[in-house]
Amino acid sequence: MLIRRPSDIPSSEITEKNVYLHRREFLRTIAGTALATTAGTLFTEPLLRAQQPAPHGRKLTTRPSRLSTDERPNSWDHITTFNNFYEFGTEVHEPAIHARDFKPEPWSVTIEGECAKTGRLNLEDVLRGETLEDRIYRHRCVEAWSMVIPWVGFPLSRLIAKCEPTSKAKFVVMTTLYDPTRMPGQKVPVVPWPYVEGLRMDEAMHPLTILAVGLYGEVLPNQNGAPLRLVVPWKYGFKSVKSIVKVAFVEREPINTWKRVASNEYGFYANVNPAVDHPRWSQATERRLPSLFKTRKTLPFNGYGDQVAGMYAGMDPKRLY
Amino acid sequence: MTAHQTIRWVIKPTVFVTALVPAAVLLNRLVSGNLGADPLGEITNTTGLWTLRFVSVTLAITPVRRLTGWNAAIRFRRMIGLFAFFYGSLHLAVFVVADRLAALGFPDPFAWRTMHDLAASIGNEVFNRPYITVGFTSWLLMAALAVTSPASMIRRLGGKRWRAVHRTVYVAAVAGVVHYWWSVKADVRAPRAYAGVITALLAFRLVVWMLPRVRPSRASVSPAATMLPVQSLRRGSSR
């Protein structure tokens, strides 16, 4: 089972702690609302930020990975209050607020397409037999900011092996949940829903490519793509699709959501590439949050070139954006 | 105190201090580390939005004056317009320092080479990225209006020419909204709202211009009420 309760704490105490946390949140909300009303909309944003929960304490059993970077991870606070997750709002502070009541359980993943084991897998079946690893990865957004994030997950290749893809399976397509009642951002057609992303089969099978279920050794917060999300550290963040409900094996290159929205700005490969600018900004440098300054030199393949560049030998580097 | 004195010594200073509040709040959040994970994004967005808000208020002065007959409103137009330029300049300065100068790795600020590289780097962005082209254009126009805003410049240019020059504020406003619209990734709801406001404010001018009857007769605008700094402006100020 995923959730390990520390044995030295009686369950009664955990309940008390939850109540206690709820009370604080409640008081903060009341105080926040009162202050916000007085101060007007000008000052509400910092107050809403101040309401964000601390780590929730639902621990996962993990083991370290040699694929982790030794760079210092960003804080829990920054990773969980600065999210591009349009399903819960298009502004980066919104998912932390609007995803709070999202229930990522029960959860199942539909497997379809060119594979032997089509059907539905409960999240428990997806995780059965998997050893969860701490994978501390650099995360580079296409919008020229970056973080270091201590994910918890397991290789996507493990799930793919369970599905037994056929020789026709050249690409894997992953789809986010579509449910506007639970994901209020989907009530607005800012992008065509549901969100779809894909990988070439060799990319999907690469040991760096993981399905993440946790952060900082704890169960993944909703705003970060709970309960199951992709992480592909050498590609821009938008490739790492969140809250996955469908995995499909296909023969032809799929059209991912952002490519569909603006194919001149976002490609299929979306490999981090300092040499190819986004039409609206340079990708040569990035700001490592929470730095104020865009000083950090962006590395090809986000610094994972040694492990992944071989997959793209012979390809026009201009396509790799 | 006369009404004139109240505006000059009480209301104007109050408006001045109020207009500085957004900058003060931002500075406070910066020094207290309360700008979230992405301080640069937050400062850039906030200063950009306040620029558009002050531009909108500036453009609203004349319609308010015409519709309510509260002619003293004109006395706030220059100040609010200059605050639009102030926030626009902060917005640009943040881009120049935290984005462009940072990308060069913060070289010696007094070296000729630095100035050259920085100018080349900014020029490259201005010429190659349409949303920066229009944003920079908007700032340049506001700069020209700021330079020509003192009463002495009105005298030097002459009221008629000065008004013609200052009509470029319409272009600056439209360019500002286009800059915002082109800078967002997919969700254009906020830029659309600002575009709506600016369009309404400009449409008011168009209607006044097309229907001469709507324009108040000169006699109805009492020169004493407008309290314009320059004699020439008292006549036919029809913006």
- Is the pLDDT at A98 greater than 60, yes or no? yes
* CB environment A176-187: b (16+ within 10 A), e (fewer): bbeeeebbbbbe
Q: Kindly state whether residues A158 and A233 are assigned to the same domain.
A: yes
Q: From A192, which residue of chain B is nearest by alpha-carbon distance?
A: B186
Best CA proximity match to A89, nearest among B47, B64, B186, B216: B186
In degrees rounded to 5, what are phi and psi of residue A191? -135, 160
pLDDT at B181: 97
Euclidean distance between the first and the last CA atom of chain B, given in angstroms as a whole number: 30
- Is the pLDDT at A112 greater than 80, yes or no? yes
- Give domain status of residue A244, yes or no: yes
Q: Which residues of A touch B29 (CB under 8 A)?
A: 46
Q: How far apart are CA A216 and CA B91, in angstroms?
A: 36
Best CA proximity match to B87, nearest among B109, B54, B135, B128: B54
Q: Kindly state whether residues A129 and A202 are assigned to the same domain.
A: yes
Q: Say whether B25 and A78 touch across the interface (CB within 8 A).
A: no
Q: Kindly state whether residues A142 and A210 are assigned to the same domain.
A: yes
pLDDT at A82: 96
- Give domain status of residue A56, yes or no: no
Which residue type sits at A273? N
Here the tokens at position A296 are 């950090």
Q: Kindly state whether residues A76 and A178 are assigned to the same domain.
A: yes
- Give domain status of residue B144, yes or no: yes
Q: Which residues of chain B are under the pLDDT cut of 50?
A: 219, 222-239
Q: How far apart are CA B96 and CA B111, in angstroms?
A: 16
CA distance A283 to chain B (A): 10
CA distance A164 to chain B (A): 37
Name the DSSP class of A301: G
Structural domain that includes position A253: 61-319
pLDDT at B4: 87
CA distance A56 to chain B (A): 20
- Give domain status of residue A92, yes or no: yes
Q: For A253-277, what is the mean pLDDT?
A: 94
User: Could you give the 3-state DSSP secondary structure of residue A133?
Assistant: strand
Q: Kindly state whether residues A27 and A70 are assigned to the same domain.
A: no
Q: How far apart are CA B202 and CA B194, in angstroms?
A: 12
Q: Distance of CA B150 to CAs B10, B84, B142, Å?
A: 21, 16, 14
pLDDT band at residue A7 under the 50/70/90 scheme: low
- Give domain status of residue B239, yes or no: no
CA distance A190 to chain B (A): 5
Q: Say whether B39 and A86 touch across the interface (CB within 8 A).
A: no
Here the tokens at position B110 are 């007094």
Q: Say whether A292 and B125 touch across the interface (CB within 8 A).
A: no
pLDDT at A6: 54
- Is the pLDDT at A34 greater than 60, yes or no? no
Q: Kindly state whether residues A8 and A69 are assigned to the same domain.
A: no
Domain count, chain A: 2
Number of inter-chain CB pairs under 8 A, A vs B: 83
User: Could you give the 3-state DSSP secondary structure of residue A174?
Assistant: strand
pLDDT band at residue A54 under the 50/70/90 scheme: low
| Residues facing residue A278 across a β-bridge | A281
Q: Say whether A294 and B34 touch across the interface (CB within 8 A).
A: no
CA contacts within 13 A on the Cβ side of A4: 10
CA distance B178 to chain A (A): 14
Average pLDDT, whole number, for chain A? Answer: 87
Residue with tokens 């094996």: A249
Residues 6+ apart with CB under 8 A from B200: none
Which residue of A87, A146, A293 is the best one to mutate when testing the B interface, meaning the one whose CB has the most B CBs within 10 A? A293
What is the DSSP track for A253-289?
A: ----HHHHH-TTT--SS-B--TTS-BTTB--SEEEET
- Give domain status of residue B40, yes or no: yes
* pLDDT digits 0-9 by tens, A267-296: 999 999 999 999 999 999 999 999 999 999
Q: For A66-85, what is the mean pLDDT?
A: 95
The ipTM estimated for the assembled molecules is 0.81
Question: CATH number of the domain that A207 lies in?
Answer: 3.90.420.10
Which residue of B40, B181, B189 is the best one to mutate when testing the A interface, meaning the one whose CB has the most A CBs within 10 A? B40
Domain count, chain B: 1
Which residue of B50, B185, B188 is the best one to mutate when testing the A interface, meaning the one whose CB has the most A CBs within 10 A? B185
* pLDDT digits 0-9 by tens, B72-119: 999 999 999 999 999 999 999 999 999 999 999 998 888 899 999 999
Q: Kindly state whether residues A26 and A116 are assigned to the same domain.
A: no
Q: For A236-264, what is the mean pLDDT?
A: 96
Q: How far apart are CA A119 and CA B185, in angstroms?
A: 36
Greatest extent of chain B over all pairs of C-alpha atoms, in Å:
62
Q: Kindly state whether residues A132 and A208 are assigned to the same domain.
A: yes
Structural domain that includes position B104: 3-234
Q: For A212-218, what is the mean pLDDT?
A: 96
- Give domain status of residue A219, yes or no: yes
Q: Which residues of B touch A188 (CB under 8 A)?
A: 187, 189
Q: Say whether A295 and B186 touch across the interface (CB within 8 A).
A: no
Q: Say whether B25 and A279 touch across the interface (CB within 8 A).
A: no
Name the DSSP class of B187: -
Q: Distance of CA B35 to CAs A76, A260, B31, B80, B220, Å?
A: 15, 33, 9, 26, 50
Percentage of chain A with pLDDT > 90? Answer: 78
pLDDT band at residue A8 under the 50/70/90 scheme: low
* pLDDT digits 0-9 by tens, A118-162: 999 999 999 999 999 999 999 999 999 999 999 999 999 999 999
Q: Which residues of A touch B189 (CB under 8 A)?
A: 188
Q: For A205-223, what is the mean pLDDT?
A: 97
| Between A317 and A284, residue with greater pLDDT | A284
Q: Kindly state whether residues A46 and A66 are assigned to the same domain.
A: no
- Is the pLDDT at A13 greater than 60, yes or no? no
pLDDT at B217: 53
- SS3 for B121-148 is HHHHHHHHCHHHHHHHHHHHHHHHHHHC
CA A304 to chain centre: 18
- Is the pLDDT at A236 greater than 50, yes or no? yes
